[in-house]
Amino acid sequence: MIRLLLLLLVALLVGTALSLGLTYDLGYIRISLGHYLIETNFWVGLGLIILLVVLAVSLINTFRYLRQGTGMVAGWVSRGNERRARRRTTQGLLALAEGNWPRARKLLATSADKADTPLINYLAAAQAAFETGDHEAVDELLRKAYDSTPGSSMAVGLTQAQLQLAGNRLEQALATLLRLRKESPHHPFVLKLLKNTYLRLEDWRELSRLVPELRKRDVLPGKELDELERQVWHNLLERAAEDTQKLRKDNPEASLEPLTRLWDELPGFVRRDEYTIRDYASLLARLGDEAQAETLLRKVLRNHWSDELINLYGRVKGNQPEEQLLIAEQWLKDRPNNAELLLALGRLSLRNELWGKAKEYFQTSLHLRRSRETLAELSRLNAHMGEEEASIKLLMQGLESDNSLPDLPMPRA
């Protein structure tokens, strides 16, 4: 109410001032424009000036409004494009999950430019292109993915390496992973993919260099890593044995240096592993150095018992077969019921031409455990001792056991 009274008071004062001003003649206004002359009363001129000012302000405000309206239209169009891109991206990802590769690739690639996350679109489109077998398109989409998002080198590179591995492009995958490893030497996933690549390439030497880093970074569970290390050194030993065999083919007196040198390179954990020791001793025996194999096995068996190693010990021929048999018989005192040791003792007895003792050892071993190996050894020994019937009977038992023959009636001889 007070505000309304104040407005009325101001209006009365302004009206009074104007009425008083109009009673006085304040002169006129003259404006000369070239050959034109404009004259008007002061009050009329003042009104025209005020009108021009009002029109100018109105035009400026209208122009500003139009500019803002254009920006609003542009923003509305942009938001519409983003909504469409999101919708097409969702449809593309669904098509990818459903295995509709061509549709997924089209939707994801065409909506990438307007999508919130173009990197995801291009990577998923590359996956779809890979599934269709278009490797050129895969490379092109991965390049666009890299260009679309700064700092995406690792993500794009890992996707590329995985697709190359899946496509059996092992050399390209290796090159990609080596580049990524230069960027990030300790990246766990890069190291894991490198391991897979070297495995498929059967590059055991590079794998042997990679294993310590895999162990240091805990890339694989300990048990799996131990098995991998055994596999690596087993294959390296096999290749060293092949190289040695080639040397000895040309020169029978050539040393076993390639194999023995590699044995010295083995990590302590691997050199203490019974399976690796077995592999190495078997390779020594295969290359003709049974004496060194026997010495190695004897040293290991004194401190670490293994049925696998005692079986091999019974197969190799040392420099002194009599001493080899005596040492094994000493072990029997501590392990009188070890079937594998008794089998080895039977073989060592044969090597010393102790036929009766060998037969006794084989029979005792067979009594403790029915082994195909022991059955074969005893059957062979019986045959050479003229006991053909016992030999045939053992062979039949072995065949029945191996083939799981059912218990059926048979005619009498």
Cβ 145 vs Cβ 126: under 8 Å: yes
Q: For the chain, give the percent of residues with pLDDT over 90.
A: 48
DSSP characters for 293-319? HHHHHHHHHHHS--HHHHHHHTTS--S
Q: In the chain, what's the furthest Cα-to-Cα distance?
A: 160
Where residue 380 falls among pLDDT bands split at 50, 70, 90? confident
pLDDT over 90 at 27, yes or no: no
Q: What is 163-205 written as a DSSP string?
A: HHHHTT-HHHHHHHHHHHHHH-TT-HHHHHHHHHHHHHHT-HH
Query: Does position 255 have pLDDT exceeding 70, yes or no?
Result: yes
**CA dist list (Å): 388 to 363, 380, 395, 398, 412:** 16, 9, 10, 15, 18
| Per-residue pLDDT at 365 | 94
Q: Tell me the per-residue pLDDT of 205-225, one tens digit each, with 9 for 90 and over.
A: 999 999 999 999 999 898 999
Q: What is the pLDDT of residue 296?
A: 94
Average the pLDDT over each of 56-65, 119-128, 129-138, 372-381 and give the range with the smallest value: 56-65
pLDDT score of 404 more than 80: no
Report the run of H or E that residue 132 belongs to, with start and end. Answer: none
Whether 133 has a pLDDT exceeding 80, the answer reads: yes
CA 391 – CA 359 distance, rounded (Å):
12
Least confident window among 64-68, 109-113, 385-389: 64-68
Would you place residue 74 in the very low, low, confident or very high pLDDT band (cuts 50, 70, 90)? very low
- Convert the pLDDT of each residue in 345-365 to its tens digit: 999 999 999 999 999 999 999
pLDDT tens-digit profile of 38-64? 666 666 666 667 777 778 878 887 777
Give the length of the chain: 413
**Which is more confidently placed, 247 or 217?**
217
Cα-based distances in Å from 387 to 144, 390, 397:
81, 6, 16
171-201 pLDDT, tens per residue?
A: 999 999 999 999 999 999 999 999 999 999 9
Mean pLDDT estimate for the chain:
84
Q: How far apart are CA 130 and CA 166, in angstroms?
A: 9
Averaged pLDDT, 113-121 = 86
Please tell me the predicted confidence (pLDDT) of residue 83.
81
**What integer pLDDT is reported at residue 159 of this predicted model?**
94
Is residue 27 within 8 Å of residue 17, measured between CB atoms?
Answer: no
pLDDT at 389 (0 to 100)? 77
- Nearest one of 263, 255, 214 to 238, comparing CA atoms: 263
The more confident residue out of 146 and 401 is 146
pLDDT of the residue at 24: 55
Q: Mean pLDDT throughout 72-89?
A: 66
The confidence score (pLDDT) of residue 248 equals 74
Average pLDDT over residues 138-151: 91
Task: Report the 10 Å Cβ neighbour count for 330.
Answer: 10
- What Rg, from alpha-carbon coordinates, does the chain have? 47
Question: What's the pLDDT tens digit per position in 331-340?
Answer: 999 999 999 9
Mean pLDDT of 280-309: 93
Task: State how far the Cα of 109 lies from the Cα of 156, in Å rounded to an integer.
Answer: 15
Instruction: For tokens 């897979």, name the residue.
Output: 196
Whole-prediction pTM: 0.69
State residue 165's pLDDT score: 94
Confidence check: pLDDT of 77 > 80: no
**pLDDT at 6 (0 to 100):** 72
pLDDT of residue 328: 95
Lowest mean pLDDT segment, chosen from 63-67, 128-132, 287-291: 63-67
Distances (CA, A) of 121 to 79, 114, 360: 18, 10, 76
